[in-house]
């Protein structure tokens, strides 16, 4: 069994913000694999289905970003999912907008949602797909930027990144590993 977590903030006001790239990528993944995310439990919204012949749970924590680890740890404990079978998808301001980076493990960097997940799991040894939304424009506060709406003129580029992020998740689950041994960079991987 695999757990795929998309990080973001619940609520209509956050639907198309930079900080919800994880939610939006999970939405694309759910559509590509016909998995409805429509059940509430474990402080989140989830759906179960199959990707590449593997049983998968798709999870959107509803705890708000800074407490995401609470929801994730509940699912991990309930299903006894090994950490190498959990993939977290999230926004990253340190990566160029519209590109993705895939890693088998690593630190949280500046991302508070990932800090929460790592804290609650007591480990950073799990795969992640980072969706680039950086850099923060000059004169913008970091928090204000990540909670701002993705401008219309950038939505097509970001949608392509969400598709590439979903494909990266599918590749990991299918056992195709991490190209180059470490990960990938670029909108088209």
The answer to whether the CB of 99 falls within 8 A of the CB of 132 is yes
Calculate ∠ Cα 56-57-60, nearest 5°: 145
User: 27-66 burial, b for 16+ CB within 10 Å, e for fewer?
Assistant: bbbbeebebebeeeebbbbbbebebeeeebbbbbbbbbbe
Between CA 103 and CA 125 the distance in angstroms is 10
The answer to whether the CB of 8 falls within 8 A of the CB of 60 is yes
Closest listed residue to residue 29, CA positions, set 126, 188, 165: 165
Between CA 166 and CA 161 the distance in angstroms is 9
The answer to whether the CB of 105 falls within 8 A of the CB of 124 is yes
Spatial neighbors of 124 by CB under 8 A, at least 6 apart, are: 105, 106, 107, 108, 118
**19 catalytically annotated:** yes
Q: Choose the catalytic residue: 19, 27, 85, 111.
A: 19
Between CA 153 and CA 29 the distance in angstroms is 23
Which residues belong to the active site? 19
């Amino acid at each position: 069994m695999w757990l795929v977590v998309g990080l973001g903030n619940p609520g209509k006001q956050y639907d198309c913000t930079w900080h919800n790239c994880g939610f939006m990528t999970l939405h694309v993944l759910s559509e590509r694999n016909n998995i409805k995310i429509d059940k509430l439990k474990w402080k989140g919204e989830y759906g179960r289905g199959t990707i590449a012949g593997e049983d998968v749970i798709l999870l959107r924590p509803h705890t708000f970003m800074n407490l995401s680890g609470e929801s994730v740890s509940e699912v991990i404990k309930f299903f006894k999912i090994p950490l190498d079978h959990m993939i977290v998808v999230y926004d990253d301001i340190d990566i160029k907008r519209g590109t993705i980076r895939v890693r088998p493990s690593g630190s949280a960097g500046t991302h508070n949602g990932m800090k929460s997940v790592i804290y609650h799991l007591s480990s950073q040894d799990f795969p992640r797909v980072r969706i680039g939304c950086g850099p923060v424009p000059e004169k913008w506060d970091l928090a204000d930027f990540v909670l701002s709406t993705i401008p219309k003129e950038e939505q097509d580029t970001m949608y392509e990144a969400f598709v590439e992020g979903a494909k990266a998740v599918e590749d990991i689950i299918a056992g195709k590993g991490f190209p180059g041994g470490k990960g990938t960079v670029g909108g088209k991987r």
